[in-house]
């Protein structure tokens, strides 16, 4: 059975193909359109890329699963004709005698499915936290091989996602309507939790103080934000909504918000453990991107193992919807083994010949190297001080670069924080993450969660901090990616090559993109960013380009 999964609506449109319970490909539309988060776009081109990558015809598809309820899909189509399914699907589907059955899957159920089945756990508690779904913002689930059972649901009026986003805007870190919650998370390491917060914990649930709480009804998000901002203006330093010119004045505020969020998530996780009795936790929803909170959940040891879906934001909903429809319509095909996702390399891939053709078209001088020569060349360049754009294999899904579309630098040099932040035009106080060989993880980091997805923050061992200062945040933490030679063999060779040269089995790794754009997808994207930025070297599959060679 072949299921096409889709997400579209406000943001993060995507498409995914699942065949007989196994994921084939996921395409996040922002990578194709080059508009970050793909706001109010439809994934038509992403569907075409999924079909092309897998050699699939529209007539091969049995079901189309969309990560919103049928009612919500109808409302989307009424509000904007572009969101009607017949307009979302490519023209090739009009040649099919009869469209596949369209199945709407509730948003949080799709999130939960993407977390549980991809975790590889035979049973797990599942926590979904985001801005809002149809009418819920937090859901708690029990997951077994029989399926998912909802334990509890919190409405949109109690949204932790909207709480955190509102705080980001209040502190002046969001000024263009984008999603900048990661900035607030980074800033929170610079302060102390001194400011009052309106979050209230109750047995098995959360709430907000009466001067902030809103009732159900129109414009929930706006009314909730306005009340939060009024509360913070009256009680939280510096008592004014930020305009971004005095960011560090909001450090204690950011820490207080982060601490409050973490307290709420720990509280919900403890309730989940009590209700399910399971020893494993799976997480999805946009709030699951908060690495610091994930690290706190791991450090509390409420659960023995934690899995965070690498595409836990709404782009992962296309995958989750497809998995849920696979489970409900052909339960024998979808198993824990078939759906497990130990790596995130499920995006598009370009051949060496396609990369060479793109370089020829750009008029760039390059050399082609064997895999071993490529790894040693890149490792030596980083050790010698170069910043390298690295492009290899299938693209990662999710917001973190994991060794397919990465910018690499030497973690030994603290100056590289300023240098790479300059290349990406990021705030100078924002941290960078390391990629570390999984065999050496415990030598450098203290964490019960060895995440291959770079989505769990943890302390850097005190003895290692002076060795790799460029990846240590001001609070002594990092969000490491554990690299497996099985799932990322070429990237593993690069990091191991750096280890052979320097004795250190890790690199500074950040996403290959410049300010305001998504992670690069195609060779053309990578070449453009290389040409207009101070990146020293570009490794494009087996082709190596340097600025020195061009001059």
Residues 326 and 413 in one domain: no
For residue 215 the two structure tokens come to: 């009732």
Residues 441 and 360 in one domain: yes
Residue 336: the pLDDT is 87
Percentage above 90 pLDDT, the chain:
88
Residues 422 and 536 in one domain: yes
Residue 74 belongs to some domain of the structure: yes
Confidence of residue 59 (pLDDT cuts 50, 70, 90): very high
Confidence of residue 333 (pLDDT cuts 50, 70, 90): confident
Residue 301 belongs to some domain of the structure: no
Instruction: Kindly report which listed range (330-334, 450-454, 542-546) carries the lowest average pLDDT score.
Output: 330-334
Domain boundary among 339, 370, 399: 339
Q: Which residue has the higher pLDDT, 415 or 335?
A: 415
Largest separation between any pair of C-alpha atoms in the chain: 66
For residue 196 the two structure tokens come to: 């009052």
Does position 180 have pLDDT exceeding 70, yes or no? yes
Residue 289: the pLDDT is 96
Does position 454 have pLDDT exceeding 70, yes or no? yes
- Cα radius of gyration rounded to whole Å, the chain: 23
Residue 473: the pLDDT is 96
Residues 438 and 335 in one domain: no
342 within 8 A of 452, measured Cβ to Cβ: yes
Domain boundary among 280, 308, 339: 339
Residues 410 and 328 in one domain: no
> Into how many domains does the chain fold?
2
Please give the torsion angle defined by the CA atoms of residues 111, 515, 403 and 187, in that order, rounded to the nearest 10 degrees.
-70
345 within 8 A of 490, measured Cβ to Cβ: no
Residue 549: the pLDDT is 83
Residue 106: the pLDDT is 98
**For the domain that residue 532 is a member of, what is the CATH number?**
3.90.870.20
Please give the torsion angle defined by the CA atoms of residues 360, 361, 363 and 367, in that order, rounded to the nearest 10 degrees.
-20
The predicted model gives 70-93 an average pLDDT of: 91
253 within 8 A of 191, measured Cβ to Cβ: yes
Does position 178 have pLDDT exceeding 70, yes or no? no
Does position 368 have pLDDT exceeding 80, yes or no? yes
Residue 54 belongs to some domain of the structure: yes
Confidence of residue 95 (pLDDT cuts 50, 70, 90): confident
pLDDT tens readout for residues 29-44: 999 999 999 989 999 9
Three-class DSSP category at 230: helix
Bond preceding residue 238 cis, omega within 30 of 0: yes
Alpha carbons 459 and 177: distance in angstroms, whole number: 32
Three-class secondary structure assignment of 236-300? CCCCCCCCCCCHHHHHHHHHHHHHHHHHHHHHHHHHHHHHHCCCEEEEECHHHHCHHHHHHHHHH
**For the domain that residue 45 is a member of, what is the CATH number?**
3.30.420.40
Alpha carbons 291 and 186: distance in angstroms, whole number: 10
Residues 496 and 461 in one domain: yes
Three-class DSSP category at 550: helix
Residue 137 belongs to some domain of the structure: no
Domain boundary among 339, 371, 406: 339
Confidence of residue 176 (pLDDT cuts 50, 70, 90): low
Does position 551 have pLDDT exceeding 80, yes or no? no
Could you tell me the CA-to-CA distances from 310 to 246, 305, 360, 398, 446 in Å, in that order? 33, 16, 34, 5, 21
Closest CA to 303 of 335, 340, 336, 274: 274
Q: For residue 73, give the DSSP letter.
A: H
Residue 87 belongs to some domain of the structure: yes
Residues 397 and 511 in one domain: yes
Residues 399 and 335 in one domain: no
Confidence of residue 175 (pLDDT cuts 50, 70, 90): low
The alpha carbon dihedral of 12, 14, 20, 22 has a sign of negative
Does position 544 have pLDDT exceeding 70, yes or no? yes
Confidence of residue 342 (pLDDT cuts 50, 70, 90): very high
In the block, residue with structure tokens 């919807």: 321
Residue 462 belongs to some domain of the structure: yes
Phi, psi of 544 (to 5 degrees): -120, 130
Does position 326 have pLDDT exceeding 90, yes or no? yes
Q: Active-site positions?
A: 11
Percentage above 70 pLDDT, the chain:
99
Residue 250 belongs to some domain of the structure: no
Residues 380 and 326 in one domain: no
Alpha carbons 303 and 316: distance in angstroms, whole number: 23
Residue 68: the pLDDT is 96
Does position 160 have pLDDT exceeding 80, yes or no? yes
Give the predicted TM-score (pTM) of the model.
0.96
Residue 149: the pLDDT is 97
Residue 404 belongs to some domain of the structure: yes
DSSP secondary structure letters along 413-442? -THHHHHHHHHHT--TT---EEEEEGGGHH
Closest CA to 324 of 18, 8, 9: 18
Instruction: Kindly report which listed range (128-137, 327-336, 342-351, 437-446) carries the lowest average pLDDT score.
Output: 327-336
First to last CA, the chain: 54
Over the chain, what is the mean pLDDT? 95
| Helix (H) or strand (E) run with residue 103 in it | strand 101-104
Residue 219: the pLDDT is 83
Residues 70 and 34 in one domain: yes
Residues 322 and 447 in one domain: no
Cβ count within 10 A of residue 499: 18
Alpha carbons 316 and 307: distance in angstroms, whole number: 14
List alpha helices for 43-159, DSSP H: 44-54, 70-79, 85-88, 107-119
Residues 453 and 487 in one domain: yes
Domain that holds residue 438: 352-550
pLDDT tens readout for residues 210-267: 889 998 777 888 999 999 999 999 999 999 998 778 899 999 999 999 999 999 999 9
């Amino acid at each position: 059975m072949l299921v096409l999964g889709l997400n579209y609506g406000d943001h993060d449109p995507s498409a995914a193909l699942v065949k007989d319970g196994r994921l084939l490909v996921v395409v996040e539309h922002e990578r194709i359109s080059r508009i970050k988060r793909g706001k109010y776009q439809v994934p038509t081109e992403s569907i075409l890329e999924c079909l092309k990558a897998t050699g699939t015809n529209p007539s091969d598809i049995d079901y189309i699963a969309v990560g919103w309820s049928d009612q919500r899909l109808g409302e989307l189509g009424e509000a904007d004709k572009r969101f009607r399914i017949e307009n979302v699907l490519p023209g090739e589907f009009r040649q099919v005698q009869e469209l596949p059955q369209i199945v709407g899957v509730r948003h949080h159920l799709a999130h939960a499915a993407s977390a549980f089945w991809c975790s590889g756990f035979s049973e797990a508690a599942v926590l979904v936290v985001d801005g809002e779904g149809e009418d819920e913002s937090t859901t708690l689930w029990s997951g077994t091989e029989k399926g998912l059972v909802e334990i509890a649901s919190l409405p949109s009026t109690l949204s932790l996602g909207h709480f955190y986003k509102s705080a980001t805007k209040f502190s002046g870190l969001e000024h263009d309507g984008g999603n900048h919650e990661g900035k607030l998370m980074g800033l929170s390491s610079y302060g102390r939790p001194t400011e009052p917060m309106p979050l209230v914990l109750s047995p098995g649930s959360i709430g907000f103080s009466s001067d902030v709480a809103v009732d159900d009804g129109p414009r929930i998000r706006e009314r909730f934000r306005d009340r939060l901002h009024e509360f913070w203006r009256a009680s939280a330093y510096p008592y004014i909504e930020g305009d971004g010119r005095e960011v560090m004045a909001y450090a204690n505020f950011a820490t207080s918000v982060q601490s409050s969020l973490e307290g709420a998530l720990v509280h919900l996780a403890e309730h989940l453990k009590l209700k399910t009795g399971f020893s494993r936790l799976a997480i999805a929803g946009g709030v699951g991107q908060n690495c610091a909170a994930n690290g706190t959940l791991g450090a509390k040891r409420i659960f023995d193992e934690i899995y965070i879906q690498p595409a836990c934001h709404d782009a992962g909903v296309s995958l989750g919807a497809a998995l849920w429809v696979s489970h409900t319509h052909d339960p024998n095909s979808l198993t824990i083994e078939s759906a497990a996702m130990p790596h995130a390399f499920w995006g598009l891939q370009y051949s060496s010949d396609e990369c060479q053709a793109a370089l020829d078209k750009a008029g760039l001088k390059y050399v082609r190297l064997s895999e071993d020569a490529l790894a040693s060349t890149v490792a030596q360049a980083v050790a010698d001080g170069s910043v390298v754009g690295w492009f290899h294999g299938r693209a990662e899904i999710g917001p973190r670069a994991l060794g397919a579309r990465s910018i690499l630098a030497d973690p030994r040099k603290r100056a590289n924080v300023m240098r790479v932040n300059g290349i990406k035009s990021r705030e100078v106080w924002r941290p960078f993450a390391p990629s570390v060989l999984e065999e050496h993880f415990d030598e450098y980091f203290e964490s019960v969660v060895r995440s291959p997805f770079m989505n769990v923050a943890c302390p850097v061992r005190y003895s290692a901090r002076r060795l790799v200062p460029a990846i240590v945040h001001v609070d002594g933490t990092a969000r490491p990616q554990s690299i497996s030679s099985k799932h990322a063999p070429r990237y593993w060779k690069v990091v191991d090559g750096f280890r052979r040269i320097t004795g250190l089995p890790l690199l500074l790794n950040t996403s290959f993109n410049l300010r305001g754009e998504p992670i690069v997808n195609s060779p053309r994207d990578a070449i453009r960013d290389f040409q207009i930025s101070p990146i020293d070297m570009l490794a494009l599959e087996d082709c190596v380009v340097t600025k020195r060679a061009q001059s």
